[in-house]
Amino acid sequence: MSILVLGGAGYIGSHTVYELIDQNHDVVIVDNLQTGFESLIHPKAKFYKGDLRDSVFLNGVFEKENIEGVIHFAANSLVGVSMKEPLDYYHNNVYGMMVLLETMKNHNVKYIVFSSTAATYGEPKEVPILEDFDTIPTNPYGETKLAMEKMMKWCEEAYDMHYIALRYFNACGAHPNGLIGELHNPETHLIPLVLQVPLKQRDAISVFGTDYPTKDGTCIRDYIHVCDLADAHIKAIHHLMDGHASNIINLGNGEGYSVLEIIKAAEEVTQQPIKTIYCDRRAGDPAKLVACNKKAQEILGWNPKYTNIHEIIQTAWNFYNNK
């Protein structure tokens, strides 16, 4: 029996595949390589290149492979782009999920772990954020992920499928093996962009907004290491396969850092000054997102191993220096 990882050539998907294979699972990857990279695909995984919205293709994969459970990462995930191209997000994310759930239903596959996001909450009334807080997304990205969560909920009622939606906060860092890490083209995420300055790939880092109601005026986020996320996905699929109930669970460290604090920590890790430019806010960004991670501890027995922001940034720095 295999675990199907949709988006297994992407950043978080590839780290999860490495961990699954380390734990002796058979892994099948589906990825259209739109944002994934062939270099991130584990050599022992079976890879099908294709788009999950292509139901003939996806049905073919389910026919050929003996799939026990699905981990779904294959979605668009950029707040800024989603504000400009909302329909792309609805098509890839929501329609993609529809085709996937339909295919799972046709092949009687019952378990799905889904990569959701803190963007489902929108601007929270307070932090840390609990899973039962209101979900009022401030951008189409969060809106589509919330719609995908709800599709799984109704499929559970109707078809007895079981799901865990993992709402993660800001994924970052790289595998300590130095082989895989965060790659996006174009890159839009804070930590890789900050590190491009000491790597001499850019002159300066832009800080999007300095007038937020936070301690230094810049946005606060909860940065969680990608290997800790991978670990949680595997615990979640085991949890479902062991017969436990569906759930929605936050994944974060429970600690917030401002954009300026991240830049300072990166200066300390790289031992180099990082030039900073202050800019206007980026549309769609909430001021503060910090997780309460108690539910993940209680339900999944998950505890993040990378709790030190310097250590997290160090793993990313090592990866970019090895490339």
Amino acid at 285: D
Least distance CB 221 / ligand UDP (angstroms): 5
x/- letters, 244..283, toward ligand UDP (CB under 6 A): ---------------x----------------------x-
Closest CA to 65 of 26, 7, 20, 13: 26
Size of residue set near ligand UDP by CB under 6 A? 15
Closest CA to 173 of 8, 38, 307: 307
Closest CA to 173 of 45, 51, 319, 279: 319
Q: Report if residue 221 touches ligand UDP, rule: CB under 6 A.
A: yes
Active-site option among 141, 163, 168, 306: 141
Q: Report if residue 300 touches ligand UDP, rule: CB under 6 A.
A: no
Alpha-carbon gap, residue 323 to 320, rounded angstroms: 5
Contact with ligand UDP (CB under 6 A) among 20, 79, 146, 269 = 79
| Largest distance between two CA atoms of the chain | 56
Measured in Å, how far apart are the chain's first and last C-alpha atoms? 34
Closest to ligand UDP by CB, 103 vs 117, is 117
Contact with ligand UDP (CB under 6 A) among 31, 182, 231, 285 = 285
Q: Which stretch binds ligand UDP (CB under 6 A): 13-21, 43-51, 84-92, 182-190?
A: 182-190
Least distance CB 170 / ligand UDP (angstroms): 5
Alpha-carbon gap, residue 110 to 104, rounded angstroms: 7
Q: Which stretch binds ligand UDP (CB under 6 A): 42-50, 147-155, 184-192, 314-322?
A: 184-192
Q: Report if residue 174 touches ligand UDP, rule: CB under 6 A.
A: no
Alpha-carbon gap, residue 89 to 314, rounded angstroms: 32
Question: Minimal CB distance to ligand UDP: which residue?
Answer: 219
The first and second tokens of residue 149, run together, are 């969560």
CA angle, residues 297, 16, 319, in degrees to nearest 5: 105
Closest to ligand UDP by CB, 103 vs 115, is 115
Q: Which stretch binds ligand UDP (CB under 6 A): 57-65, 122-130, 202-210, 312-320?
A: 202-210
Q: Report if residue 120 touches ligand UDP, rule: CB under 6 A.
A: no
Neighbours of 318 (CB within 10 A): 18
Contact with ligand UDP (CB under 6 A) among 189, 202, 238, 264 = 189
Amino acid at 224: I
How far CA 290 is from CA of 69, 159, 175, 260, in Å, comes to 30, 34, 23, 16
Amino acid at 71: I
Least distance CB 200 / ligand UDP (angstroms): 17
Q: 3 and 218 in contact (C-beta within 8 Å)? A: no
Q: Report if residue 182 touches ligand UDP, rule: CB under 6 A.
A: no
Q: Which residues are catalytic?
A: 141
Residues that bind ligand UDP (CB under 6 A): 79, 170, 188-190, 193, 205-208, 219, 221, 259, 282, 285
